[in-house]
Chain A
Amino acid sequence: MEEKVLIAKYGEVAMRGNNFAMFISQLVATIRKNLREEGEFYVVKEQGRLVIESRGGEMDYDRLIPKVEPIFGLVGLCPGVKTIDQSIETLCQVSLHHMQELFPTEKISFKVVAKRANKKYPLTSQEVATEVGGYLLERMPNLSVDVHHPDIILRVELRNDAYVYSKVIPTFGGLPMGSSGKAISLLSGGIDSPVATWMMAKRGVAVEGVYFHSPPYTSEWAKQKVEDLAERLSCFTGEFRLHVVPFTEVQLYLLDHVPHDKLTIFLKRAMMRTAQKIAEREKALALITGDSVGQVSSQTLQGLHAINAAVGGIPVLRPLAGMDKQEIVDMARKIGTFDISIRPYEDCCTIFVAKHPETRPKTSVIERIESRLTELDALLEKALEEAECIVKG
């Protein structure tokens, strides 16, 4: 009996000895989660790969692959066929069906590569390849053999069950969530911050987001946009927690008490301090921002210095620091956050944006002014208390 499956190969994970089992079960859980609405699937563990089988036997690859593709820790996806009966006759037939379906008439060159984990199998890998190759050549006149530069490589793998596939779709790689500790990412709803979040999550950082909500200056739609970004990010990581901090009072207080041209710096400092508090509470070890040096006035090195000084020893990861806007946009498109980010409910108010913002703030000056903001700490504390946590994924 042959059955269509999707083989998911994992990469770097396999090398991380101790937590291997945990990461594998996490990958399995994320695959299951991402496929939740597509039907009922089994995820079977094989060496170096996870095999996704449909309970009903139906595999709609066009729908399934985009759902599994984003998951960090996977390096490639192979639509293929599984057979429990490993006799050479069956392997030949299964291979024929697979090839006929994918390449019914098209003239292509191919070679067969066989691998057997089951060393008791009566034929060697080479013999299996030769048998299958010969069987296909006899029956499909559109095929020719090319062992050096074939158009496609048909792989026959004998493991607990046998698998036949010919296509490997490369995926993002990366490490599964949590394999590198936890960090708090400042999500604005713009284009940059989801990309920065994605980049760190790719390295296995368990990211939680923080969003500063300022009604009536920002709308429910703007908040929903950030929630949708969190939902999208959860496709890569499995789960995504978003902390929504009410920030109107802090913003209005700063608007009233600091020079308007420096307002952005103070606002960002307040956000960083709040994010740091959340990091402490959630036992996270770093902050993540989408800063790209020189992109806007507060992202000059002077600006970044003045903002960064607001938080103590906690590392602030800025994976986009050296990227151009276009590179960031391209990446946002690739990971599917761009279309969400460009929905038009940005901060609907310009009162918090200076016409001529300070581009070279002096950290010492900023800190001197901030030391006079006697109510700020209490307001930040209050905002933190009123924060809500939304779990996506």
Chain B
Amino acid sequence: MIYFDNAATTQTSPAVAEKLADMLCNEFANPASVSKLGLLAEKEIRKSADCLSRGIHAKPEEIYFTSGGTEGDNWAVFGTAAGYHRRGKHLITTQTEHPAVKNPMKALEEQGYEVTWLGVDEKGYVDVEELKNAIRPDTILVSIILVNNETGIIQDVQKLGSIIKEKNSAILFHVDAVQAFGKYPIDVQKMKIDMLTMSGHKIHGPKGTGMLYMKNGLHVKPLLLGGGQQKGQRAGTENAPGAAALAMAAEACFQDMDKNAAHVLQIKKALQEGIFSSIEDVRVNGDSLEKASPYVLNMTFAGVRSEVLLHALEQEDIYVSAGSACDSKKKTGSAELTAMGYSFEEIEGTIRFSFSRYNTVEEAELCVEKLKKIVPFLRKYNR
């Protein structure tokens, strides 16, 4: 099997799975328990928060454990709206956010909030001037995705953060770092980030784990109320095994961040260049090898349908994602590519390859070999 769909989810690393299973079976106590066992579990959580915070230059008490990316994004958006609506009801985000940010924003629009949706250029970058002009005195939140999940382009968050704070230092800056965490260096202080969302299963951690970094002193309201866990900010029995496994997965990524990036870049390069040299009428969406995330390659194969190509690769035991739904009646192309200015016809035939440290250059070469046969075959029958 060649698994090139790591932006969707990753294989849990065996060491992490072992740690998780061990804690579930042996160190399963509720960290809220006042017994010695509870303390052991609490220590694991503290250790995990310490590890995660170190990786993004935050403090351990600024780490809140969540169920994953969707919860973090929802919390940041809804929690800010609920906590800061007296100061203003204006929010800013981009047209290329993940639905976990987009849909809460849309829900707020229905509740009477105003949202400015920043457009992007043909590569997918936010226009700095457009952001500057969008900021108002009543703006309470700017939410921007760091590494785009479909195209892998990296927003210049440090620059965007500075602009936001220069124009209005009271605005909270949320960054969806689900595809960036552990793969791209993050410094919440330099980048002036107030909240940052990550998810465990994208970095070889367990599904159902994640974290929201929230800077000290914010008045973001909790989504979940209950037994007052995590300083009352996120109720629910704390998932000590999940937190420990998450931290372990993150630690592995932090340690080898450069090495892993270089490794997947070789894979991406082999695939991208291999495709370009052997198949005509193909296009990379996003930015160049040097500038985009090495973990994602988004390409359009003119004259084929995404889903058919996906299934044809699946017959060869190669797994990727489709960039557009195949239902030609509905014409639903990827929102990201649409925002980048592509028509539905131009989006058709888009495939996302996404890599992990477990992939190899040989796999990329094999994938090119298969594509060389499949794409012309499918094109022959396309009308």
Contact = CB atoms under 8 A, between A and B. Distances in A.
Contact of A255 (B307, B312, B328, B381): B381
B308 A252 contact: no
Interface of B: 305, 307-312, 314-315, 326-328, 378, 381-383
Residue from A216, A217, A252 having most chain B Cβ neighbours under 10 A: A216
A351 interface: yes
B197 to A, nearest CB: 29
Given A216-B308, A217-B308, A219-B307, A349 B315 contact: no
Nearest to B313: A216
Interface in A248-274: 252, 255-256, 260
Closest 3 CB pairs of A and B: A216-B311, A216-B312, A348-B326
A294 interface: no
Given A348-B307, A351-B382, A216 B326 contact: no
B381 A351 contact: yes
18 contacts: A215-B312, A215-B314, A215-B315, A216-B308, A216-B310, A216-B312, A216-B314, A217-B308, A217-B311, A218-B311, A219-B311, A255-B381, A346-B327, A348-B305, A349-B305, A349-B326, A350-B328, A351-B382
Given A215-B312, A216-B308, A220-B314, 18 more contacts: A215-B315, A216-B310, A216-B311, A216-B312, A217-B308, A217-B311, A219-B311, A220-B311, A255-B381, A344-B327, A346-B327, A348-B326, A348-B327, A349-B305, A349-B308, A350-B328, A351-B382, A351-B383
Interface in A211-238: 215-220
A349 B383 CA distance: 11
A220 B378 CA distance: 18
Given A216-B314, A348-B305, A349-B308, A260 B383 contact: yes
A252 B305 CA distance: 16
* Secondary structure dominating the interface of B: helix
Contacts of A217: 308, 311
B383 A216 contact: no
Contacts of B315: 215-216
Interface residues of A, number: 16
B26 to A, nearest CB: 33
Contacts of B381: 252, 255-256, 351
Contacts of A260: 383
Nearest to B326: A348
Nearest to B328: A350
Residue from A215, A218, A255, A349 having most chain B Cβ neighbours under 10 A: A349
Interface string A346-390: 101111000000000000000000000000000000000000000
B383 A348 contact: no
B327 to A, nearest CB: 7
Nearest to A252: B381
A344 B307 CA distance: 13
A182 B308 CA distance: 36
B373 to A, nearest CB: 13
A253 B312 CA distance: 18
Contacts of B378: 216
A15 B289 CA distance: 77
Nearest to A255: B381
B324 to A, nearest CB: 11
Nearest to A350: B328
A349 B378 CA distance: 11
Contacts of A256: 381
A348 B307 CA distance: 7
Residue from B305, B311, B315, B383 having most chain A Cβ neighbours under 10 A: B311
A183 B378 CA distance: 36
Contacts of B314: 215-216, 220
B270 to A, nearest CB: 24
B328 to A, nearest CB: 5
Contacts of A218: 311
B229 to A, nearest CB: 36
B135 to A, nearest CB: 40
Nearest to A256: B381
A215 B316 CA distance: 12
A350 B330 CA distance: 13
A344 B325 CA distance: 10
Contacts of A344: 327
B315 to A, nearest CB: 6
Contacts of B328: 350
Contacts of A215: 311-312, 314-315
A344 B311 CA distance: 16
Nearest to B306: A348
Contacts of A252: 381
